[in-house]
Every structure is written in C-alpha cells, then in structure tokens.
A and B are shown apart, each in its own frame.
Chain A
C-alpha cells in the first residue's frame, strides 16, 4: 500500500464512518476495514473499478462525485477522503463544499504543483512538468485545476476552513507542515495531505 494510504489510515480512529471519494479499486477501504474496523464506503466513476470493489465485498457505488455527493445527508460520515482527485473536477470549490457538508472532517491529498521538480521543469525546460505524482502529459492529463500546498492552504484561509493538520510527503519521508515552514515544505513536498473541518 502506498505511503499516502498508510498516513491516512493512521489519521483515522477505529470504528469511525468513512467515505472514500474516488476510491479506485478499493485498496484503501479494504485496509481501513481490516486494520481499524472502520465502516468504510466508497464512490467511484469507473465501472471496471466498481466491479473490483464489489467483488471484494466493499460497499461502493458507481457515480460521479462532482454531482452525486448530494445524495448523502449532512455529516453522514465522520471522515470523507479525497485522494489526489480535487484537481480533476470541473468545480473543485463546489466539491470541497460538498465534502465538508457530508463529512464531519475531510482528508484531502493534493499533488503539489509547488514541488521543486515541478518548478524546475517549467523554469529550466519551459515545459509542463511530468513527475512521479503527475505522470501525464499536458494533452492527456485528467488534471484541470492544479494547485500547490500553499495555494490550498490559502484557499482554506479564505473560506475559513479549519486546518487540523497538514502532512507533506517527499519520497518515503513524511513531515508536518505549519504556517512557519509552509514556504519550505511547499518546495520540498511532492504530495500534501490536509485534515480539515
């Protein structure tokens, strides 16, 4: 299981109610159920991935999170997880609002556009960056709204969203991010994980 999922698993208390938005083949949901006895559900767009999830006995519904989170009541889940998908929505801000409505707390991870490799690619090569966490080219990437850790931090500020925790990932190394080390970590982290409410 990838590092990011291990960090998310650690953040969650046992037996909580969790919704994994864009859950893919259900790897994270499965881990949450097994390791922490969490009541974990998922929503996923791709039919083939949904089938994989259902075959594992996971409660995953096929649907588009952009339009279909409205079916869940307010605060239906203790935590809602969105792993590296926010940038792929047409209206990320609306999705963010919906996540915060459906979940008491939200865990969002973002591929950091402020990462130094991304910056140097643009600066020295003059090309849109292709990295481990951003593997697609500009013409076939699903990502529509790229942002940096600092961008998302400022969005939370602006929307008066409470940031409980930020964790940065650089290769296998993880570190805690706060207002003071934000500039530095924005340069050094490949992925940022936000716990917000």
Chain B
C-alpha cells in the first residue's frame, strides 16, 4: 500500500469544501491519472468514476501494485473506450488511499494520521471534490462520464449536480439509492475490519501494522457478492485445491476457499482498512432521491444529457431492478435514455471482465455519441 509519490499525479483543491457532515475541508489533494490526449476542441474527454475498491489507475499497469489497471478490459488502445480516440480522466475518490485526501493522511493539528478523526464523507462530497479536475484541464463539457457500481452512483450524483457538464452518461450495474441488502453487506465488511484487534479504533498506522485479517475477511465477503451462483459453480464447483481428498482440517480444501483467501490476502497490500470503512459508509448514505423534494424524477428534470443505463442479468448485488428504477425516473422526467440488460453469468463483476456484448454496446454508444457531440454547436 505504500507507494512512491512520484507515481501519483495530484491537484491540491484550494477552494473550501463544505462536506455533508458539516465540516469544511480545504487545501486537500485529489490524485488522478489520465490516458490518451485531449484534442484541440476539447470534446473528447471522458471522466471515469471508480468503484469501492478501485483507484485512478484505470488501465495499463498500475504503478503501485504492478498489476493490470482495474478496467483494462474496457479501456485502452483499440478497446471499447479507445484511448487513441478519447482522453480519459479518473480521480481517486475523496477518502481513498491512492493519493487523495483520506484517513491515512496526516492531520495538521497533531501531525498524526487522521484515522477516525477523518470526517465521514458522502458520494456528493466525492463529486464536489473532483469537480476541480475539470477546471484543471479547462474542460467545459465532457463527452461522457462512465462508472460501474459505486462509480455509477458518483456518476448519477455528478449529473444531478452539474447537468451541463457532460454530453452523455453511462451508469453501469449501479443504483440511485443503497438498499437494505447493500447496506447490510457493507456493514458485514465493516464489522469484520473493526473486530480485528489490530484495527484499534482506526489507530494502527503508527506501528506500521495493518488489520490484515479483518480487511481480508471483508474483501472475501464482498468478493462473493461480485459473482453469480452459476458463475461460481462453473468455475469452482466442488473442486479440491491440489489434493485428492478431504483433509479433515479447516485448511482450504476447496478451490473456492483458496481463491477467496488469495483475494483477501492480495487486497490488504493495496487498500487501507479505514478507507474501506469511509468509502463503504458513503455508499450506504447514498440516496439521490432524498436530495430533491420530488424525488429522483426531479434530479434529472430538463436535463439534456444522453443516458445509457446498463445492467447484468446475473448481478444480484446491484440487480436490474436498481437500474430500471433509474430508467423509470429518467423517462418520467423526459430525459434522453437508453437501457440494456446484458445476459451473462458473470454477476456484478461483468463490467470489469471481457464481456463482449457489454463492451460492444458501450463502444457503440460512445462512438456514435462522439459523432453527434462533435457536430453540436
């Protein structure tokens, strides 16, 4: 998780930002990465919002983890979101741990890491914090905003706050409001972290220890929710892990156990446990309809943005119903909306992996809208 600062691009947001919790922050860093080139007309920019465990390193090799960027399947040269054609910006969210202002940053007051003294943030705070990036690049109107899962929540919040700053928008496998099951699963993850004695009420930075066990269990639980029953069964079934028979112990006999343990272990090396608490909390607080007197319909009233909503048939974490609720609100407000449910067994993770139907739909939407946007005055 410790990264070389020279690998991270940052802007310092000097404008004071009043958070939803009431506190005001200023002079804080927002880390970002870009791919491709901004053209002269500045009409080929796409802002991508990352999900709970993501970061600004969308594609190529992540210089911190030395692994593939999280959206390599969709973004890159010649891919659905073509970096030869488009200029991609992605910021690490407020509260994150990849260079943006978060709980592991030092508190000026006592020169100690914030830990739980970091203010509780919301999705709206994240978006307001990122807005300075558009000023930084002097972009008046984006071609599109893209985001899956929590990225989609940020996207909806962005569109509600700044209706004129993007020509199109693609929320993927997302929701306008976290429901009871989604909150419950986040609470499970938080309790796993907080019940690790090393977590120590968020004060673990000093001894260079991390609440590995708690964070790993949180990640394991979350990982199950990203896959479908059928996908899991096809990939793992009851297959045993490099053994012929049960060992009659509690070691990882089954491949699925071994897989989840591995996912948990690699996660703790790149993600801060407190960031996980703060970001998952922001997701739980997200309910776009609450921000408007007449609910979600009012959030998009008179918007010109062209929306494409995408859901996946086997996603039970953010099921099609969540996406359809967005479509219904957009239709009721007269907004411009397209919607597709992609048939797949790959569950919530479908947007991160090579799912041709999805990628072709995304590419078709972006490329055709780029042509329309270019010809617009």
* Chain A residues packing against B (C-beta within 8 Å): 41, 47, 50-51, 53-63, 71-73, 76
| B306 x A59 contact (CB < 8 A) | yes
Task: Give Cα A73–Cα B371 distance, bound, in whole angstroms.
Answer: 31
Q: In the bound complex, do residue B361 and residue A54 qualify as a contact, i.e. CB atoms below 8 Å apart?
A: yes
Q: A51 contacts which of B327, B332, B364, B372 (Cβ < 8 Å)?
A: B364
State whether A58 touches B338 (Cβ < 8 A): yes
Q: Which residues of B contact A56 (CB under 8 A)?
A: 364, 368
**Are the C-beta atoms of A51 and B361 separated by less than 8 Å?**
yes
Interface of B is mostly: helix
Q: Which residues of chain B have C-beta atoms less than 8 A from A76's C-beta?
A: 331, 334
How far in angstroms is the closest Cβ of chain A from B250? 44
A30 to chain B minimum Cβ distance, whole angstroms, is: 11
Restricting to B160-211, which residues have a CB under 8 Å from any CB of A?
Answer: none
- From residue B223, how far is it (CB to closest CB) to chain A in Å? 28
Contact residue among A41, A55, A63, A72 (Cβ-Cβ distance under 8 Å from B365): A55
Asked if A63 and B357 make an inter-chain contact with CB atoms under 8 angstroms apart, the answer reads no
Give chain A residues whose Cβ lies under 8 Å from the Cβ of B371. Answer: 57
In the complex, chain B residues whose CB is within 8 Å of the CB of A62: 339-341
Question: Which of under 10, 10 to 19, 20 to 34, or 35 or more describes the interface residues of B?
Answer: 20 to 34
Shortest CB distance A52–B (Å): 8
Given contacts A55-B364, A72-B331, contact A60 B338 (CB under 8 A): yes
In-complex Cβ contact of A71 among B327, B336, B361, B363 (8 A): B327
Contact A54:B357 (CB < 8 A) given known A59-B336, A59-B338, A61-B331 = no
Check if B322 is an interface residue, CB within 8 A of chain A: no
- Is there an interface contact between B340 and A54, defined as CB atoms closer than 8 Å? yes
Out of B341, B343, B368, name the residue touching A55 (CB < 8 Å).
Answer: B368
**A residues less than 8 Å from B336 (CB atoms):** 41, 59
Q: A54-B338, A71-B328, A71-B331 are in contact. Are A47 and B343 (CB under 8 A)?
A: yes
Residues of A contacting B308 in the complex (Cβ-Cβ under 8 angstroms):
54
Do A47 and B365 have beta carbons less than 8 Å apart?
Answer: no
The docked-state distance in angstroms from the alpha carbon of A130 to that of B332 is: 41
Residue of A nearest to B320 (CB): A62
Give min CB distance, A24 to chain B, whole Å.
Answer: 15
Residues of B within 8 A of A (CB): 306, 308, 327-328, 331-332, 334, 336-343, 357, 360-361, 363-365, 367-369, 371-372
Complex CA distance for A54 and B306, rounded to whole angstroms: 11
Q: How far is the CA of A163 from the CA of B272 in the complex (A)?
A: 67
Query: With A47-B342, A61-B339, A62-B341 as given contacts, are A73 and B365 in contact (CB-CB < 8 Å)?
Result: no
Contacts of A61 in B (CB 8 A): 327, 331, 337-339
Q: Nearest residue in B to A56 (C-beta to C-beta)? A: B368
Residues on the B chain within 8 Å of A41, using CB: 336-337
Q: Please give me the 3 A-B residue pairs with the lowest Cβ-Cβ distance, nearest first.
A: A55-B364, A57-B368, A61-B339
A53 contact from B328, B338, B342, Cβ within 8 A: B338
- Nearest CB on B from A65, distance (A): 13
Residues of A within 8 A of B327 (CB): 61, 71
Whole-angstrom distance between the alpha carbons of A72 and B368 in the complex? Answer: 26
Query: In the complex, how many angstroms separate the beta carbon of B90 from the nearest chain A beta carbon?
Result: 23
Alpha-carbon distance between A58 and B369 when the two chains are bound, in angstroms = 9
With both beta carbons as reference points, the residue of chain B lying nearest to A76 in the complex is identified as: B334
Q: Across the interface, which residues of B come within 8 angstroms of A50, CB to CB? A: 338-340
Residue of B nearest to A52 (CB): B364
C-alpha gap A110/B86 in the complex (Å): 45
B361 engages A63 (CB within 8 Å): no
Known contacts A55-B361, A71-B327, A73-B332; decide if A47 and B337 are in contact (CB<8 Å): no
Residues on the B chain within 8 Å of A58, using CB: 338
Q: How far is the CA of A47 from the CA of B341 in the complex (A)?
A: 7
Residues of B within 8 A of A72 (CB): 331-332
11 residue pairs from A and B, CB less than 8 Å apart: A41-B336, A41-B337, A47-B343, A51-B340, A51-B360, A54-B364, A56-B364, A57-B365, A57-B372, A71-B327, A73-B334
Q: What CA separation (Å) do A72 and B338 show in the bound complex? A: 14
Q: Report Cα–Cα, A60/B340, bound state, in Å.
A: 8
Q: What separation, in Å, do the CA atoms of A55 and B334 have in the docked complex?
A: 21
In the complex, how many angstroms separate the beta carbon of B368 from the nearest chain A beta carbon?
A: 3
CA distance A62 to B367 in the complex (A): 20
Contacts of A51 in B (CB 8 A): 340, 357, 360-361, 364
Residue of B nearest to A53 (CB): B338
